[in-house]
Structure 1
Amino acid sequence: MKRKIAAIFAADIAGYSRLVAEDEEETLRRLASYREVIDDFIAKANGRIFNTAGDAVLAEFPSAVDAVRCAIDIQESLRTRNMAYPPSRQMSFRIGITIGDVVERDGDLLGDGVNIAARLEGLAEVGGICVSRAVHEQVANKLSVQFADIGAQEVKNIPTPVHAYMIAMRREDGTYATPQLKKVAKAQPAPNWMWPLVVGVVSVVAIGVCGFLYFTKLETTQLSSTAAAPSPSPAAALSPSPTPAMATKAPMPSPVPTSTPTQTAALTPPPAPTPSPPAASGGKIAVDAVPYIGERQRAYLSNEYSAAGDYKAYALNIAGFNGSALNQPNEEAARNAALDQCQKRADAAQSPRRCELYAVGNKVVYSHGSPPMPPQPWVRHDTMTERPFVSKDFPMLRDQARTRVENIYAPAAKSRSVALGPAGQYFMVLGAASVDETTRRSLESCGAIAGSACMIVAVDDNFVVPIPTLLKPNGFFHAPTNPSIVADARDEVVRKLGDGMGWNAVAVGTAGRPGLGLKAADEQTAVNGALADCVKHDSDCHVIAIGPFTVGPTN
């Protein structure tokens, strides 16, 4: 055995047991894939994995800088991979890092340094990193990262508090999320003069309880000797026998709805009858009208949520995160619990969108209504225009957004789609249950962000609308209101464009008289046809639209 100072890195999956319980094979398969990523980053940062157990990874690094830089790279890489899965199936790690004196034995490391790293990992946010003060001092002036001081933390099996810092993780838009402080309030010891009083009170209570039990037993014995035991009252017959599980406080709803609502039973005798809570107004929620959510959540609302008691609530946000609370003690508790669960899920995925209440009881309280949607069909497959998805050709996006689409959308699981807004807004839904679900959800979220109807541009591995390459797309083409076309010709353009199949192009001249190239087999043919048709009625013709897009010069 030998001693040494090392930077110790500890990582663990948040909610791993739940993920395994829901789908063991898929979870283990994805864990192996994520471990390849983690192992590769650790090796590149000159680290060494010295122990693993299930979903946990312990590694050592020659410096704190290497360890922190590696942890940030891992979290950012895994965050991108998680975008391919719905929130309930995302596999996120917590990471803790410290510098400590450790003992090496047969390649394994032991000692307080290892234990403290594991405790720091438990303090970290989901998808976040927590480091000790020693690590903070080593890296604060060497890496461009932001820290939040969460103070001294009392952690299990470590005799002295551990001063810890959270690392602010970068969001998708390049900004940094502020870590949530987790400072543990240390209980203040009772003053010395309180102890005699406490002992006296406890003694009096104990004497009273013993006396009560004695006389109760005596009375029961006397009754049993003079009469047969009565049959249970109806109330007692309907009450379940108390068990340890029933005696506990009802837990908050889990991220994945359970098959039956959580119930509790009191160990004390039933209280006097009280008025029932008012019946839920509005009947069942119109589940098909709830936006942004998948079919699994709709089934949950139709079944578990609808069948639950009145003190319940459901929250969501436009990015598709949601939260629910069932069988709460009152309406306020239901509201707060649903919002809290939804926001925690959104924050864990670093979503900038805030959660709002959708329903309280069975009454819809969401004030925004339905998002703007285009007419159906949302996707029309056309062999003449459909082609493989290539991120560099995605229209109307800035370079940063196009890179994000390339990194997240292209490798994601099916079913997936991207909806595009008229001013370049976009929204992706990845790993949905079906094409219908992914297109609906991406259009709903994109429409809510854009404030107007969006268009499905890509589904799975293909562009499903004509994507211009000869000219630069710069907006959506809407013939009935396009100002470049003379007003008395717009209705005719709409009629001739018809179903929009194949490649179509529109050109206009100085007088605004339109020329059309319709149902061509390729983009160039449509453009040539539109220009040729335009010069029959106008002069100085130029193309203003190709497919569903308005277009301009490429430079």
Structure 2
Amino acid sequence: MKRKIAAIFAADIAGYSRLVAEDEEETLRRLASYRQVTDDFIAKGGGRIFNTAGDAVLAEFPSAVEAVRCAIDIQESLRTRNMAYPPSRQMSFRIGITIGDVVERDGDLLGDGVNIAARLEGLAEVGGICVSRAVHEQVANKLSVQFADIGAQEVKNIPTPVHAYMVAMRREDGTYAMPQVKKPIKAAPAGAPAWMWPAAITVVLLAAIGVGGFLYYTKLETSATKPAAVASNTPASTPLVSASPAPLIAPSPAASPAPSAPAKPAPALAASSSPPSPPSITSGEKLATEIIPFVSDRTRSVLATEYVPAGDFKAFALNINGFVGWSVAQPSEDAAKTAALDLCQKRADNAGSPRKCELYAVGNTIVYSHGQPPVPPLPWVKRDALIEKPYATKDVPLLREAARARLETLFVPGRRTRTIAIGPGGHYFFNAGIDTLEESARRNLQACGAVAGVPCTIVAVDDVFVVPVPTTLRVTGFFKAADSSVITPGERADVARKLADATAGWNAVAVGTQGRPGLGLKAENEQGAVNTALAECVKRDGDCHVIAIGPFTVGPN
């Protein structure tokens, strides 16, 4: 056995026995799904589960900050899921956290630290978090979290009172609901003789009776604000599900690997080559969660484990910014559709999303009429050290100043992984804090393609541009050689083929008065590609000028 100091996390489900008694199979299925969520967050926060029993989970963390952050993520994620169920069938955790000296034996942890965490969990509100004073002192200045001091609490089998704090949980509108403050115990006056306690208790009881009668007759009531659900879109830790065997991200041997890392999609611009053929979405077909567009990987997983197996009446709604709402166990199909749309739109409105929610599925049948949004062929991101350069908002092509200001405010300080997709006509979408590059790219490309009507392109990942962004000439649009009216028709296909084969470095296209092209391919820098394209064009035509650099059409600055 060895001793150590650890942050101990204890959680269990409020009213679990009642839920099992009402519907054992459905409760056990949802418990497995919810446990997957808690286990994923605990692992992501560096924690280790050392004991489980039924609906209870005990875990240790090396850091109190990570333990509290994990608890908040769990409660917000599960609260969002619970909104799909009637109040009587919602499954909510209570969580308690303390820092203590514990004994480790065969992987299990024992000691007062474990016992106190379990007692703090009992003090927590349904869907809430209760922490000890030691945890509060560690976390107060490190996380943007509000606390309610509930004072010293007498808890079972712990000889001394435990000073505890409740974590204020965030509502959907971004405000915080302060928990109901439990009455703290009062410390006994120092040196008070034992004989005084019976008299003191008698006085207190008489006073309580008098006050109780007064409150009864004056009907004085107190209440606490109940925390509302949080619309979470962050999140996702599950891998991207792709119907294509082609790689999503194509690394270059000379390029550094793309970083990966949870934020709301916000409105971004790139035309690409001919649209791919993703799995179709056809109204009337059976719901397949792995190809639902716009939403996070985690949402897809939740829908597969909770929505699909649930009985009717149920419905699922989404919008292109990735906000969702679903409702199950409703009294009728119309009630399910209304509830799903209302929940989705409430989340979108609270986050400032300008997009309207639409029904995607009723029961397990797709009713969405728009099909799959157009996206470019895989891979969606090509890492090439020759063309990558540090990201600067002023250099993002085709955007208006208002869009640049939005990127500077929201994208630049955002957490990794973050990407920007752009399309012709000034469409742009970006997100931040997504777990994987694959998911970040997919969601932005799907949203951008849905609005633009053509495939868009990922132009930036985190702190770098991943496409060649011209600086010698001004970007005016996206270049597609096969459709270029300035290249002589007989040479368009050849130009398109050569550009498609030139997958690394800088490419440029120049034409003369007769429309005969000159190409600069796989150059080490922009100027080198431009010079080669002009030189090749001059050999075949006159009055040559550059019409494209990388994926963009260009003109004079």
The separation in 1 between residues aligned to 2:284 and 2:551, in whole angstroms, is: 41
- TM-score between the two structures when normalised by the length of structure 1: 0.53
Matching residue within 321, 324, 328 for 1:322:
324
Distance 1:254 1:551, change over 3 A: closer
SS in 1 for 2:406: helix
Amino acid at match of 2:398: M
Matching residue within 267, 288, 291 for 2:290:
288
Match in the other structure for 1:360: 362
Instruction: Please list, as runs of the form range in 1=range in 2, the aligned pairs for 1:255-294 lying within 5 A after superposition.
Output: 255=231, 285-294=287-296
Could you list the runs of 5+ residues in structure 1 that have no partner in the other structure? 1-15, 37-52, 58-87, 96-155, 159-251, 258-280
Deviation at 1:500, TM superposition (A): 3.2
Matched, 1:533 2:536: yes
The separation in 1 between residues aligned to 2:167 and 2:550, in whole angstroms, is: 50
Matched, 1:92 2:161: no
Match in the other structure for 1:496: 498
The separation in 2 between residues aligned to 1:30 and 1:424, in whole angstroms, is: 43
The separation in 2 between residues aligned to 1:34 and 1:344, in whole angstroms, is: 24
Instruction: Please list, as runs of the form range in 1=range in 2, the aligned pairs for 1:436-447 lying within 5 A after superposition.
Output: 436-447=438-449
Instruction: Please list, as runs of the form range in 1=range in 2, the aligned pairs for 1:74-113 lying within 5 A after superposition.
Output: 92-93=174-175
Deviation at 1:93, TM superposition (A): 2.2
Match in the other structure for 1:469: 471
Match in the other structure for 1:337: 339
Matched, 1:302 2:304: yes
The separation in 2 between residues aligned to 1:18 and 1:284, in whole angstroms, is: 35
Distance 1:386 1:314, change over 3 A: same
Distance 1:472 1:282, change over 3 A: closer
The separation in 1 between residues aligned to 2:431 and 2:506, in whole angstroms, is: 27
Distance 1:31 1:337, change over 3 A: farther
The separation in 2 between residues aligned to 1:89 and 1:505, in whole angstroms, is: 52
Amino acid at match of 2:542: S
Amino acid at match of 1:513: R
The separation in 2 between residues aligned to 1:283 and 1:479, in whole angstroms, is: 37
Query: 1:56-77 CA distances to partner (integer Å, 9 max, x unpaired)?
Result: 79xxxxxxxxxxxxxxxxxxxx
Match in the other structure for 1:109: none
- TM-score between the two structures when normalised by the length of structure 2: 0.53
Deviation at 1:487, TM superposition (A): 0.5
Work out whether residues 373 and 444 of structure 1, in 8 Å CA contact, stay in contact via their aligned partners in 2: yes
Match in the other structure for 1:411: 413
SS in 2 for 1:535: helix
Instruction: Please list, as runs of the form range in 1=range in 2, the aligned pairs for 1:77-476 lying within 5 A after superposition.
Output: 92-93=174-175, 255=231, 285-476=287-478
Match in the other structure for 1:483: 485
The separation in 1 between residues aligned to 2:454 and 2:355, in whole angstroms, is: 18
Could you list the runs of 5+ residues in structure 2 that have no partner in the other structure? 1-69, 78-94, 98-128, 130-135, 147-164, 178-220, 234-282
Deviation at 1:54, TM superposition (A): 6.1
The separation in 1 between residues aligned to 2:172 and 2:390, in whole angstroms, is: 27
Work out whether residues 386 and 466 of structure 1, in 8 Å CA contact, stay in contact via their aligned partners in 2: yes
Q: Which stretches of structure 1, 4 residues or more, deviate above 3 A after TM superposition?
A: 16-20, 22-25, 27-36, 53-57, 88-91, 252-257, 281-284
Deviation at 1:410, TM superposition (A): 1.2
Distance 1:342 1:91, change over 3 A: closer
Deviation at 1:415, TM superposition (A): 1.5
The separation in 2 between residues aligned to 1:436 and 1:405, in whole angstroms, is: 21
Work out whether residues 311 and 329 of structure 1, in 8 Å CA contact, stay in contact via their aligned partners in 2: yes
The separation in 2 between residues aligned to 1:386 and 1:372, in whole angstroms, is: 26
Deviation at 1:409, TM superposition (A): 0.8
SS in 2 for 1:311: coil
Amino acid at match of 1:514: P
Work out whether residues 488 and 516 of structure 2, in 8 Å CA contact, stay in contact via their aligned partners in 1: yes
The separation in 1 between residues aligned to 2:349 and 2:363, in whole angstroms, is: 25
Work out whether residues 487 and 517 of structure 2, in 8 Å CA contact, stay in contact via their aligned partners in 1: yes
Matched, 1:550 2:553: yes
SS in 1 for 2:303: helix
Distance 1:489 1:340, change over 3 A: same
Deviation at 1:553, TM superposition (A): 1.0
Work out whether residues 510 and 547 of structure 2, in 8 Å CA contact, stay in contact via their aligned partners in 1: yes
Distance 1:423 1:30, change over 3 A: farther
How big is the alpha-carbon RMSD for the aligned residues of Structure 1 and Structure 2?
3.4
SS in 2 for 1:329: coil
Match in the other structure for 1:21: 75
Deviation at 1:433, TM superposition (A): 2.0
Deviation at 1:253, TM superposition (A): 9.1
SS in 2 for 1:518: strand
The separation in 1 between residues aligned to 2:390 and 2:293, in whole angstroms, is: 29
The separation in 2 between residues aligned to 1:30 and 1:313, in whole angstroms, is: 41
Distance 1:457 1:283, change over 3 A: closer
Match in the other structure for 1:171: none
Deviation at 1:20, TM superposition (A): 6.6
The separation in 1 between residues aligned to 2:171 and 2:494, in whole angstroms, is: 50
Work out whether residues 321 and 342 of structure 1, in 8 Å CA contact, stay in contact via their aligned partners in 2: yes
SS in 2 for 1:396: coil
